[in-house]
C-alpha cells in the first residue's frame, strides 16, 4: 500500500475508532440522541430476529463496536474496502440520530448541527472512495472482461490452427493421390 493511502485511511478511520470506543464503553450519552432512530428501527429488527436487542443503549453499543473494529480494519488496510462499506452503513444512522439540524430551534445550534451533518456527509464520501479504491490494481470487472477476451482469443487461435491443419491435411491427401504407384 502506498504511503498516501496508508495515511489517508488512517486519518479517515480515526474518528470511527475514537467514537466507536466511546460508544461501546459507555453508550448512555449516545443512547438518548439515538432513540429517534432506534425507535423506528426496533420493529424491523424484532421482525428479522426476536433475539436482536432493540433498546437504544444496546444498539448504540453494537454500532460503536462495529465502528471501532471497522475503523481499525480500515486503518490497518485489512479488508479495507469491506470495512469502508460497513463504516458507511453505520454512519448513516449515526448522522441521522446525532445531527438533526431540522429539529433545532436555536439558530446557533441549528447552524452547528448542519455543519456536523455536512462533515459526516464528507466522511461518507471519503468512505465510499475508500470502498472502491483498488490501490491501483485492476478491479474485478476489468479482470473478468480481460479474462473473457483472453478466452475468446484463445478459442480463435485454436480454430485457426485447426483450420490450417485441415487445409494442410487435405492438400497432402490430394498430393498423395497424384503420385504414381
Determine the pLDDT at residue 84: 94
C-alpha cell at 145: 472482461
Q: What percent of the chain has pLDDT over 70?
A: 97
Alpha carbon 71 to its chain centroid, in Å, reads 13
pTM above 0.85, yes or no: no
* Residue 156, CB-side half-sphere exposure with 13 Å CA sphere: 6
Neighbours of 15 (CB within 10 A): 16
Mean pLDDT of 55-73: 91
Neighbours of 111 (CB within 10 A): 12
Amino acid at each position: 500500500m502506498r504511503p498516501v493511502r496508508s495515511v489517508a485511511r488512517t486519518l479517515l478511520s480515526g474518528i470511527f475508532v475514537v467514537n466507536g470506543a466511546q460508544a461501546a464503553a459507555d453508550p448512555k450519552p449516545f443512547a438518548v440522541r439515538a432513540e429517534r432512530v432506534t425507535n423506528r428501527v426496533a420493529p424491523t429488527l424484532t421482525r428479522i430476529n426476536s433475539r436482536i436487542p432493540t433498546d437504544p443503549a444496546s444498539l448504540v453499543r453494537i454500532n460503536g463496536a462495529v465502528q471501532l473494529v471497522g475503523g481499525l480494519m480500515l486503518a490497518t488496510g485489512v479488508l479495507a474496502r469491506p470495512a469502508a462499506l460497513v463504516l458507511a452503513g453505520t454512519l448513516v444512522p449515526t448522522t441521522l440520530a446525532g445531527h438533526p439540524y431540522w429539529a433545532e430551534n436555536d439558530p446557533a445550534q441549528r447552524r452547528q448541527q448542519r455543519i456536523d451533518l455536512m462533515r459526516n456527509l464528507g466522511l461518507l464520501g471519503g468512505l465510499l472512495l475508500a470502498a472502491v479504491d483498488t490501490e491501483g490494481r485492476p478491479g474485478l470487472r476489468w479482470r473478468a472482461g480481460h479474462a473473457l477476451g483472453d478466452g475468446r482469443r484463445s478459442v480463435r487461435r485454436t480454430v485457426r490452427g485447426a483450420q490450417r491443419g485441415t487445409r494442410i491435411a487435405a492438400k497432402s491427401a490430394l498430393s498423395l493421390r497424384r503420385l504414381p504407384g
